[in-house]
């Protein structure tokens, strides 16, 4: 495989298949020229991602998605300088589809592979369209991860705090399941909360030290509250769905923001952002803007399609690794956890 990293503006094909979105994107001249995402709807009826079904769907989707991404970018596969692919973390069967496809493609084209860490890519999504100053603090909130990360000069990442159990997105999804909402429940809760009172119900906020997070207690607190209230009134959830959603969202978001405030106070960093699927949450976006005002710092949020799982962030992260001369090999393997 030829790694021609003397190219300062490489054309990178990005491929993402870590969970239930099959995605391909093209980075060219430092800009994203296409970002095709096929979200697998099949999991909705099961209340969560069914790993084996996800792998099968990725297999069906991967070639058409890559093909569309190349066409939309107006390039042929031979124009690509390197193929960047999510190596992990994620579901093994899902990762293997994108990763093995990438290896086969790279081998047949004699092009280099770039291994991309999915979590880092969510953070780098900030730099696709914006130019935050370094050091930059990022609250990464996805379905699988919750972390506060400091991004240093040259895109070096330092994790300042992580969740001890569930991720913020999981907390939204599990709360939604208790309310009978379809998966993923985060966007549903966000929508329903708009008509509700955020202070209607009080749920326990987890008490974690420093910049660590914990969400398992929130879920238990919601479960007990709902059990008590539905005992007296069978239709309680249905009749109070907006208030319940607004209060759950308020609990999770206030907790996230309190940790971000603590991180800003501890580090004195002047630019801050949120990334990952939960960064699409309208209340979190609004609260981030307020926090930035209060702390006199610059706030950044990647555009919506770069918050949820997408290959644009993989291609962009691939570009960073390309410049560092960091290439994968055909014997590398995927990883499910960090």
- Closest CB 224 distance from Zn ion, rounded Å: 30
* Pairing between β-strand 298-300 and β-strand 21-28 as defined by DSSP bridges: unpaired
Residues 279-338 that bind ligand KG4 (CB under 6 A): 280-281, 308-309
- Closest CB 274 distance from Zn ion, rounded Å: 13
In the list 14, 184, 196, 302, the residue contacting ligand KG4 (rule: CB under 6 A) is 184
- Closest CB 176 distance from ligand KG4, rounded Å: 7
- Closest CB 153 distance from ligand KG4, rounded Å: 26
Q: What would the two tokens of residue 50 be?
A: 């069914």
Cis peptide bond N-terminal to 135, omega within 30: yes
Decide: 300 and 275 in contact? Cβ < 8 Å: no
Contacts with ligand KG4, 121-150, as mask; x by CB under 6 A: ---------------------xxx------
Q: Which does 243 bind (CB under 5 to 8 A by kind): ligand KG4, Zn ion, none?
A: none
- Of 206 and 276, nearer to ligand KG4 (C-beta) is 276
Q: Any idea what DSSP says for residue 30? A: T
Decide: 40 and 22 in contact? Cβ < 8 Å: yes
Contacts with ligand KG4, 10-49, as mask; x by CB under 6 A: ---------x------------------------------
Q: What is the DSSP string of 110-151?
A: T--EEEEEHHHHHHHTHHHH--PPSSEEEEEE-SS-EEEEEE
Asked if 89 touches ligand KG4 (CB under 6 A), the answer is: no
Residue closest to 179 by CA, chosen among 108, 221, 236, 94 = 236
Write down the H helix ranges in 179-215: 185-193
Q: Which residues bind ligand KG4 (CB under 6 A)?
A: 19, 142-144, 169, 172-173, 184-187, 190, 276-278, 280-281, 308-309
């Amino acid at each position: 495989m030829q790694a021609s990293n003397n190219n300062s503006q490489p054309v990178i094909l990005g491929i993402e298949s870590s969970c239930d979105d099959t995605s391909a994107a093209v980075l060219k001249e430092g800009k994203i020229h296409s970002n095709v995402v096929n979200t697998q709807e099949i999991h909705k009826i099961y209340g969560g991602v069914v790993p084996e079904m996800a792998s099968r769907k990725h297999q069906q989707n991967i070639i058409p998605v890559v093909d569309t991404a190349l066409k939309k970018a107006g390039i042929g596969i031979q124009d690509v300088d390197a193929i960047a692919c999510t190596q992990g973390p994620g579901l093994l069967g899902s990762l293997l589809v994108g990763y093995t496809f990438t290896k086969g493609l790279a081998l047949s084209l004699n092009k280099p592979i770039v291994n991309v860490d999915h979590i880092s890519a969510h953070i780098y999504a900030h730099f696709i369209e914006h130019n935050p100053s370094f050091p930059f603090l990022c609250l990464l909130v996805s379905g699988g991860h919750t972390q506060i990360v400091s991004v240093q000069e040259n895109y070096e990442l330092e994790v300042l705090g992580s969740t001890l159990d569930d991720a913020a997105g999981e907390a939204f999804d599990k709360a939604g399941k208790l309310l009978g909402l379809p998966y993923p429940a985060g966007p549903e809760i966000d929508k329903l909360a708009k008509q509700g009172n955020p202070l209607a119900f009080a749920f326990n906020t987890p008490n974690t030290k420093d910049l660590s997070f914990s969400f398992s207690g929130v879920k238990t607190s919601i479960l007990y509250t709902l059990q008590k209230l539905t005992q007296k009134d069978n239709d309680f959830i249905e009749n109070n769905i907006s208030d319940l959603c607004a209060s759950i969202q308020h609990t999770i978001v206030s907790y996230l923001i309190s940790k971000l405030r603590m991180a800003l106070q501890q580090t004195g960093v002047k630019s801050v952002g949120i990334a990952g699927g939960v960064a699409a949450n309208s209340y979190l976006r609004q609260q981030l803007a307020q926090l930035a005002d209060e702390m006199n710092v610059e706030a950044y949020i990647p555009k919506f399609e770069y918050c949820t799982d997408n290959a644009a962030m993989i291609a962009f992260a691939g570009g960073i690794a390309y410049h560092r001369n960091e290439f994968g090999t055909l014997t590398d393997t995927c990883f499910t956890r960090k």
